[in-house]
Structure formats: structure tokens, C-alpha cells
């Protein structure tokens, strides 16, 4: 049974808005992108023959709208996974267990737009590689590459060991080893 326009908005508004916000990092722009996506659905959605693809169509449209606003300032390099395998990060389970969601979300906002979109779609929106490739209009290999590089960039943000609280830089839990490593690199005695 086909969903009405109102049912589609009700079902997808929140996840689309979250995706738009993760891309733009601005509430007003996220709301505009979401609204523009639903406008496109209202005017062109009838052309979608396979109604099971509504979600993918909406996310793809939103992402294309975002790219339209960024096209002049962002260049998208195509990188194959095999070229960056040696750069893939490894994160110990201890560090993962110590991180909290708010810290990760804060760090995600610091990740470059190019990598934030696939990370958000994969980990927060739970899209498959294929769906992400369709939404972002890039090859699956590029999705995998951007996810790998995005995870690496996110790890750097998390491992930087600080976040802003009340105007101060405060070390995050689990980063004592990183701080000790930096101290030893500066010539501090090992303790």
C-alpha cells in the first residue's frame, strides 16, 4: 500500500533532519535541506516506480541538495580502498568502551564533510554500502574508502584528548596513554 505524503513526512522527517544537520552543522540549513527534500518529493516523487525505495530516494535527494550548496567549495577526491589500507586505524576495545555517545557525536561534527556523510549514513542511519553509494552518488569502493578515512579522522578527533567544557580544554576519559605518549615525546621522564 502506498503511503500518503503526510505519512512519508511523518516517517522520514526526523532521520532526514538528523542527516541534514550532520552534514550542514546548522539547524536552519538542516531544516531548509529537509524541507527542500520533501518539496522535491511532492513534485517528483510520483516518478519513483519502486515505492520500496522511498527512503533511499529521500536521502539521495537531500544529499544532492547539500552538495548543490557546497559544490563550489568542496572537491571530492576518488580514492580506492587498496590505496589507503595501510592508513586504516585500529581502535582497542578498551577505548571504545570508555567513549560516550555525546563525545563521539561532538567529535563527529569536527570531521570533514566528505567523510561525515558516509559515517552518519552507515553508523547512525544504518544504511548499507550500496544504499550509501546510491545516496551519495559515488562507487561502493569510494564509500568504503571514505568510511575508512572518516573513521581515522574521527579517531584522531576522539584521541586528541580534549573537548571544550565551560571554555576550558578538559582531557577525555581513556586518553591518559595518549597524553603520556605526548609527554614522553617532549622529553618528559617516563613514570
Residues 91-107 have pLDDT tens digits of: 666 666 666 677 778 88
Quote the pLDDT of residue 100: 67
Q: Encode the chain in three state secondary structure.
A: CCCCHHHHHHHHHHHHHHHHHHHHCCHHHHHHHHHHHHHHHHHHHHHCCCHHHHHHHHHHHHHHHHHHHHCCCCCCCCCCHHHHHHHCCCCCHHHHHHCCHHHHHHHHCCCCHHHHHHHHHHHHCCCCHHHHHHHHCCCHHHHHHHHHHHHHHHHHHHHCCCEEECCEEECCCCCHHHHHHHHHHCCCCCC
**Domains delineated in the chain:** 5-70 (1.10.1740), 92-185 (1.10.10.10)
pLDDT in tens, 157-176: 877 754 443 344 444 444 44
Of 17 and 78, more confident: 17
CA distance 170 to 154: 18
Mean pLDDT in the chain?
76
Residue 181 has pLDDT above 60, yes or no: no
Phi then psi for residue 121, to 5 deg, are -65, -40
- Please tell me the least confidently modeled range out of 8-12, 20-24, 100-104: 100-104
Q: Which residues contact 121 (CB under 8 A, 6 or more apart)?
A: 19, 59, 127, 131, 132, 135, 136
Quote the pLDDT of residue 85. Answer: 66
Mean of pLDDT values over 6-24:
92
The pTM of the full predicted model, rounded to 2 decimals, is 0.46
Give the bridge partners for 168, in sequence order: 165
pLDDT at 137 > cutoff 70? yes
Average pLDDT of the segment spanning 114-125: 88
The pLDDT score that the predictor gives to residue 80 is: 65
For residue 17, is pLDDT > 70?
yes
d(CA 51, CA 87): 40
Residue 129 near residue 144 (C-beta atoms within 8 A): yes
User: Would you say residue 113 has pLDDT above 80?
Assistant: yes
Amino acid at each position: 500500500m502506498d503511503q500518503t505524503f503526510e505519512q512519508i513526512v511523518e516517517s522520514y522527517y526526523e532521520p532526514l533532519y538528523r542527516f541534514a544537520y550532520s552534514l550542514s552543522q546548522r539547524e536552519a540549513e538542516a531544516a531548509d535541506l529537509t524541507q527542500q527534500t520533501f518539496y522535491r518529493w511532492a513534485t517528483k516523487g510520483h516518478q519513483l516506480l519502486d515505492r520500496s525505495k522511498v527512503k533511499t530516494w529521500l536521502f539521495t535527494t537531500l544529499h544532492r541538495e547539500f552538495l548543490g550548496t557546497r559544490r563550489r567549495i568542496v572537491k571530492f577526491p576518488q580514492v580506492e580502498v587498496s590505496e589507503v589500507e595501510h592508513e586504516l586505524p585500529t581502535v582497542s576495545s578498551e577505548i571504545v568502551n570508555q567513549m560516550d555517545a555525546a563525545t563521539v557525536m561532538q567529535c563527529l561534527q569536527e570531521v570533514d564533510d566528505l567523510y561525515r556523510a558516509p559515517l552518519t549514513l552507515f553508523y547512525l542511519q544504518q544504511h548499507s554500502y550500496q544504499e550509501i553509494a546510491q545516496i551519495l552518488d559515488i562507487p561502493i569502493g569510494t564509500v568504503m574508502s571514505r568510511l575508512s578515512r572518516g573513521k581515522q579522522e574521527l579517531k584522531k578527533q576522539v584521541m586528541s584528548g580534549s573537548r571544550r567544557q565551560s571554555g576550558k580544554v578538559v582531557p577525555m576519559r581513556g586518553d591518559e596513554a595518549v597524553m603520556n605518549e605526548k609527554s614522553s615525546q617532549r622529553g618528559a621522564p617516563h613514570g
